[in-house]
Amino acid sequence: DQQVKQNSPSLSVQEGRISILNCDYTNSMFDYFLWYKKYPAEGPTFLISISSIKDKNEDGRFTVFLNKSAKHLSLHIVPSQPGDSAVYFCAANSAREGSNYKLTFGKGTLLTVNP
Amino acid sequence: EAQVTQNPRYLITVTGKKLTVTCSQNMNHEYMSWYRQDPGLGLRQIYYSMNVEVTDKGDVPEGYKVSRKEKRNFPLILESPSPNQTSLYFCASGLAGESTDTQYFGPGTRLTVL
């Protein structure tokens, strides 16, 4: 039973346009959500996060939106750059369940930004 | 340089031959964790450790052991590897008491079990 779902295995966008990556979750106990970025032959690196008490968090070109009622979050990248081409993982955890560190990841979405 | 190192980076072995993948961090982090990445399954947590001598199971602990005798090291042990443990493994570390966005991942170990 997959608790964090990224239903789009891949996404292709043009440089300068907006990239929107989606993530859905089923566990209502999740209260902290993260996006990680992964280049080939490297480990994932943290990109941006959001707590369940917020519905939006921005960091430069990256914005994460959280819709708790729909159990849905999305990552917006504006404008997209070729260097953003990578696999993006959505992850979640539940501090309320007593573990800040038991992360559950989605399957990932491969973003390709074309010049 | 602050980093998480894993050894070996690549390993091909045979079923049943015990192996250990080492993980070491030089950032004095309390928290360390192991993940495996498989096609179509994403990243799944195997074990994690909040501090020395404290370990907990993640989502897929079966077939693996860990130990945390020192703060900087968190080896992953496969007592009797099987082909379904062929995967890409990542170690991560972070500061306890902070949100998980401060996790730093190692470069990965690609394991093939024949």
Q: Which residue does chain B place closest to A2, by CA atoms?
A: B41
Measured in whole angstroms, the distance separating CA B44 from the mean position of its chain's CA atoms is 11
Q: What's the rounded mean pLDDT across residues A102-110?
A: 90
DSSP three-state, residue B42: strand
The amino acid that residue A88 corresponds to is: Y
Residue type for position A25: Y
Q: Which residue has the tokens 């493994």?
A: B89
pLDDT of A97: 59
CB pairs under 8 A between A and B: 65
Contact, B44 vs B36, CB < 8 A?
yes
Average pLDDT, rounded, for chain A: 92
Cβ atoms of residues A8 and A89 within 8 Å = no
- Look at residue B2 in the predicted model and tell me its pLDDT: 78
Classify residue A83 by its DSSP letter: G
- With cut-offs at 50, 70 and 90, classify the pLDDT of residue B13: very high
Share of chain B above pLDDT 90, in %: 80
Secondary-structure breakdown of chain A: helix, strand, coil percentages, each rounded to the nearest 5: 5, 55, 35
How many Å apart are CA A111 and CA A9, to the nearest integer?
Answer: 9
Is the CB of B43 less than 8 angstroms away from the CB of A99? Answer: no
In the prediction, which pLDDT does B101 show? 61
| Cis ω for the linkage preceding A115 (within 30 of 0) | no
CA nearest to A47 within chain B: B101
Average pLDDT, chain B: 92
Among A9-13, B75-79, B101-105, the minimum mean pLDDT is found in B101-105
For residue A99, what pLDDT is reported? Answer: 59
Contact between chains at B100 and A100 (C-beta distance less than 8 A):
yes
Q: For A50-97, what is each residue's pLDDT tens digit?
A: 989 999 999 999 999 999 999 999 999 999 999 999 999 999 988 765
State mean pLDDT over B41-70: 93
| Residue B68 CA from chain centroid, whole number | 11
Question: What is the mean predicted confidence (pLDDT) over B100-104?
Answer: 72
Residue B36, number of CB atoms within 10 A of its CB: 23
Residue B26 CB: number of other CB atoms within 10 A? 12
DSSP, collapsed to helix, strand or coil, labels residue B17 as coil
Please state, in angstroms and as integers, the Cα–Cα distance from residue B97 to each residue in A37, A98, A101, B107, following that order.
Answer: 23, 12, 9, 24
Partners of B43 on chain A (C-beta within 8 Å) are 44, 89, 91, 105, 108
